[in-house]
Structure 1
Amino acid sequence: MQIRIEKDLLGEKEIDNSSYFGINTKRALENFNLGGKTVNLNLIKEIALIKKAAAIVNEDLKELPEDKAEAIIKASEEVMEGNFNDQFFLSAFQGGAGTSTNMNVNEVIANRAIEILGGKKGDYNLVHPLNDVNMSQSTNDVYPTALRISAIRSIRRLSSCLADLQEELQVKENEFSDIIKLGRTQLMDALPMMVGQGFGAYAKAIARDRWRIYKVEERLREVNIGGTAIGTGLNATNKFIYEITDVLQDLTGLGIARSDYPMDVTQNCDIFVEVSGLLKSLAVNLLKISNDLRILNSGPVGGIGEIILPKVQSGSTIMPGKVNPVIAEMTAQVSIRVISNDTAITMASSSGQLELNAFTPLIAECLLESLELLEKTVIIFREKCIKGIKVNEENCRKNLEASTALATALVHYIGYDKAGKLAEKALKEHKTIREILYEEEVLPREKIDEIINPYQLTKPGIPGI
């Protein structure tokens, strides 16, 4: 193995010469040797995008020679394309407000640019990670800007996936619109409802999530690039500050806007709490829907068994024939993870001090993980669970007829107390409400049938009138 020696203000380090990262990354690897979660590659690619934009602007402003700028631009594009993914494996949990990640990108781009110019890795006289690649920038404006761009891209994908899920739920609403079942409150028998009505309620909840998440993109468009270390813009010219935002707009196709007060965007992370809160709202709805489906699918003999979820894999290593609702379970677990991420984002965002939040890496990891998990989960939930749901109409009818919930329809005619006594008698004698009403001759049989017609009980109004 060939090595090269790199120096910094703390001393020297040996670097494997095949590596594109340098001494700053090497120290970070040693300092944050946690294993497991590494920095999100989508964040890395957006940081590289910012390096490309900065090089374009600095070349235009004559701050970088054309050959050096073009080499940095080419190297940045290669990082964005994923050609150097194996060079980015720092822990997602790192001190320094993301400085190590920014330096990792600076060093990889610098060493690749050196190669493009015909030099050897580590010869920073050709292209310097800080003087050239990081020119007119700071971690404190690069990192949050990259996070916002990455989050916007993910939000757009997630919003589209939610639109598809909403549509699939509406398909089920229509498909099951004429199948009646027993509704339940507090897990106890309630009033009759159409199976489709339940899916319609789910569709409405997801529609709200889709709209909220779609709209929150607007809050992420304001960036602090050009604000440098604390938002004052020191070491970045006014021309650079204004031009780089325009270049980023062109490169991303997003409505990126320069903050009119970069110090605010640099030190305050409340927008990420806002975004995470909406992701939590989605997670809450997905958790509720997935748990409802598991309950309604329970059985097939000992449970409710009113719907049938698609069978996707064997469920037990000891019980032959057992099939579990694993897609709904996965959805529930992801939802719980997103809710826990929201707590971490809330605590990290509130832990910033003075002009910077040092816990931005934790915010980035949790936010991007939540977005990516939700996007993939929504797709799988729709395709492998919702789309294939069937209804056991026989169980729906049986459970409805056996319930005393139909007694509610009698309140207008015989009063709450008498209806309650009839329901109690039906339970005690293991009979249906209809049978008890016939026996007691409370009302004419024709009127009884008219009143407790389950299909009338799923609509507004007083049954039998």
Structure 2
Amino acid sequence: MENTFRIEKDFLGEKEIANDSYYGIQTLRAKENFDITRTSISLFPNFIRSLAKVKKATALTNYELGDLTLIQRDAITQACDEIIAGQFHDQFIVDPIQGGAGTSTNMNANEVIANRALEILGHPRSSYHIIHPNNHVNCSQSTNDVYPTAIKITLHELIFRLKDSLRELRDSFDRKAVEFKDILKMGRTQLQDAVPMTLGQEFKTYAIMVDEDIYRLREAQALIKEVNLGATAIGTGINTKENYQELVIKNLQDVTGIDFVNAGDLIEATQDTGDFVHISGILKRVVIKVSKICNDLRLLSSGPRAGFNEINLPAMQPGSSIMPGKVNPVIPEVVNQVAFEVIGADMTISMASEGGQLQLNVFEPIIAYKLFTSINMMRRSFHSLASKCIDGITANEDVCMENILNSITIVTSLNPILGYEKCSALAKEALKTNRRVYDIIIEQELFTKEELDKLLHPKHMVHNHKLV
């Protein structure tokens, strides 16, 4: 019967590896050691592709410098291209949260690429004297420059997708701003009646809030174009040849299509995770603002009989197992919960960055895991918010107008004419007698009906700003 295992060795001993596996002994050890999330790095296919892009760029560079043969280069780069195209991702089995500063992830990539390259050349897997995971695939590299570079490539791509979801959300708010441009409603501060505005102005504000953060993310992308590839272990570039750093960055640019640059000081760049902290802070800013908008939507749609009831959110599902007819604002609620998760992830990233010591931060795996997870959750929830909620919102125009007419604070527009004290007395009288300000003013003959209609017309109170 054919043996279904092959034997691989490292300096700790030997292990049986399934013959149909492209990974090797170091990957298997990591799989056994880190059973944390019960997932694997294949959860983030962009990250797998990013690792392969780094390995392709380094293979091209090592060939140029004479450290790989043409045959080795072509086999390694073909294996990388296949992984970039989406193949063999199931072979990336290590847990994303791991000890060792990402070494397990790097070795998982090295072993899969090496064994696929050997297969391309017609050799059995584990024939490492021909193409070795460390000597050839990892030539002129360390986990400490490969891993953070792959993180930055992944972040660059994920942020593009996050910006797309924010544009979708912004455009949804913009369309509603136009649709609601003539609907007058009461503005509020501290949950108390303030002065009139339009529902269109309210939704236009949300569009602007979202649009601002698209620019903040664009700025963050520029920050992560600086990488430490070529730094190797601690930033001194040990085990690399002269001109390696310059050549490998050029090849990385060609492979990724992104204008990455070498860090000014590779020792600093290898230990400093401040750019990840900055990106996490931007993500927190974005999600907090969107979550605040969701709080507004839940409040404005509250009721329908005993709440604000100024807008209607699309009914997505029954809202109670006991109360018939109840419908909940489930889409804004789930975005709120994503916000809580991202805010917590920001704290984790902050602590992980602060916890680094000396020439390397060993906690980059948890930083990467939290950043990737946060971005993916945000972009999915923003898409849901736009398509399943904002696009279907309708306005209760009669409710909005009735709130204005019943409000005491419309007397604010008379301050320049009657003075603050007289207007306060009118408001107090209206509250005491449960009557409209309008009726009291007519009764006291402060203005004629025609004069008052002109002064208190809600449209006149928003004339200083565009209705959309």
- With normalisation by structure 1, the TM-score equals 0.95
Name the structure 2 match of 1:4: 6
CA deviation profile, 1:274-332 (whole Å, cap 9, x unmatched): 11111111111101111111110111112111011122222223323222211111222
What is the distance in 2 between the residues matched to 1:192 and 1:89?
58
Tell me if the contact between 2:228 and 2:263 (Cα under 8 Å) persists in the aligned partners.
yes
Q: Does the Cα contact within 8 Å between 2:26 and 2:107 map onto a contact in 1?
A: yes
- State how far apart, in whole Å, the 2-side matches of 1:430 and 1:67 are: 90
Partner of 1:160: 164
How far is 1:137 from its partner?
0.5
* Distance in 1 separating the partners of 2:444 and 2:323: 48
Give how far 1:214 is off.
1.1
SS at match of 1:303: coil
Q: Which residue of 1 aligns with 2:235?
A: 231
Where do 5+ consecutive residues of structure 2 fail to align?
none
Q: Which residue of 2 aligns with 1:20?
A: 22
Q: Could you tell me the percent identity over the aligned residues?
A: 45
SS at match of 2:243: helix
Unaligned runs of 5+ in 1: none
Which letter does structure 1 place at the counterpart of 2:187? G
**Structure-1 separation of matches of 2:258 and 2:385:** 29
Give 2:416's aligned residue.
412
1:59-78 deviation per Cα after TM superposition (whole angstroms, max 9, x unaligned) = 23331122222111111122
Instruction: After TM superposition, give the deviation of residue 151 of structure 1 in Å.
Output: 0.8
- CA distance in structure 1 between the partners assigned to 2:303 and 2:38 by the alignment: 38
**1:118 Cα offset (Å):** 1.5
Counterpart of 2:130 in structure 1: which amino acid?
A: L
For residue 278 of structure 1, the aligned residue among 278, 282, 290 is 282
Q: CA deviation at 1:434?
A: 1.2
1:16, CA displacement in angstroms?
2.0
Within 5 A, what are the aligned runs for 1:259-408? 259-408=263-412
Cα RMSD of the aligned pairs, angstroms, is 1.7
Is the contact made by 2:65 and 2:241 (CA closer than 8 Å) also made in structure 1?
no
Offset, 1:403: 1.6
Distance 2:51 2:75 in 1: 17
Equivalent position amino acid for 2:14 in 1: E
SS at match of 1:7: strand
Query: Which residue of the partner structure matches residue 36 of structure 2?
Result: 34
Letter of the 2:77 counterpart: I
Q: What residue number does 2:92 align with?
A: 88
Q: Secondary structure at the match of 1:102?
A: helix
Among residues 59, 72, 86, which one is paired with 2:76 in the alignment? 72
Instruction: State the Cα distance separating 1:453 from its structure 2 match.
Output: 1.2
Contact persistence 2:300–2:308 (CA under 8 A): yes
Q: Could you say which residue in structure 2 is the equivalent of 1:431?
A: 435
Moved more, 62-71 or 141-150: 62-71
Task: Please identify, of 122-131 and 219-228, the stretch whose mean Cα deviation from structure 2 is larger.
Answer: 122-131
Whether 2:213 is the aligned partner of 1:209: answer: yes
Partners of 1:217 and 1:412 in 2: how far apart?
Answer: 50
Look up the equivalent residue of 1:114 and give its one-letter code. Answer: L
Alpha-carbon separation, structure 2, partners of 1:418 and 1:318 = 51
Indicate the residue corresponding to 1:180 in structure 2: 184
Amino acid at match of 1:391: A
Report the 3-state secondary structure (helix = DSSP H, G, I; strand = E; otherwise coil) of the residue aligned with 1:192: strand
SS of the residue corresponding to residue 96 of structure 1 reads: coil
Q: Residue 184 of structure 2 aligns to which amino acid in structure 1?
A: I
Which position in structure 1 is the counterpart of 2:50? 46
How far apart, CA to CA, are the structure 2 residues paired with 1:179 and 1:390?
11
1:220 is aligned to 2:212: no
Moved more, 151-160 or 241-250: 151-160
Alpha-carbon displacement from aligned partner over 1:62-120 (angstroms, at most 9, x marks no partner): 31122222111111122222221222232221111100100111111111112112122
d(CA) in 2 for partners of 1:140 and 1:34? 22
Report deviation, 1:457: 1.4
Q: Secondary structure at the match of 1:455?
A: helix
Find the partner of 1:450 among 439, 443, 454. 454
In the alignment of these two chains, the number of paired residues is: 461
What is the distance in 2 between the residues matched to 1:217 and 1:80?
21
- Opposite residue 265 of structure 1, the aligned amino acid is A
Cα distance in 2 between the residues matched to 1:37 and 1:458 = 54
In structure 2, C-alpha distance between the alignment counterparts of 1:377 and 1:51, rounded to whole Å: 33
Write the distance in 1 (CA, Å) between the matches of 2:200 and 2:315.
21
Cα displacement string for residues 373-398 of structure 1 (whole angstroms, at most 9, x for unaligned residues): 22222222222222222111011011
After superposing the two structures, state which structure 1 stretch, 53-62 or 19-28, moved more. Answer: 53-62
Instruction: Tell me if the contact between 2:75 and 2:117 (Cα under 8 Å) persists in the aligned partners.
Output: yes
Residue 37 of structure 1 deviates from its aligned partner by 4.4
Q: Secondary structure at the match of 1:344?
A: helix
Cα distance in 1 between the residues matched to 2:360 and 2:415: 64
Q: What amino acid does structure 2 have at the position aligned with 1:204? A: I
* Matching residue within 257, 265, 275 for 1:253: 257
SS in 2 for 1:5: strand
Cα displacement (A) at 1:346: 1.3
In structure 2, C-alpha distance between the alignment counterparts of 1:357 and 1:255, rounded to whole Å: 25
Query: What secondary structure, in the 3-state scheme, does the structure 2 residue paired with 1:14 have?
Result: strand
In structure 2, distance between residues paired with 1:80 and 1:460: 55
d(CA) in 2 for partners of 1:69, 1:317: 62
**How far 1:210 moved relative to its partner?**
0.7
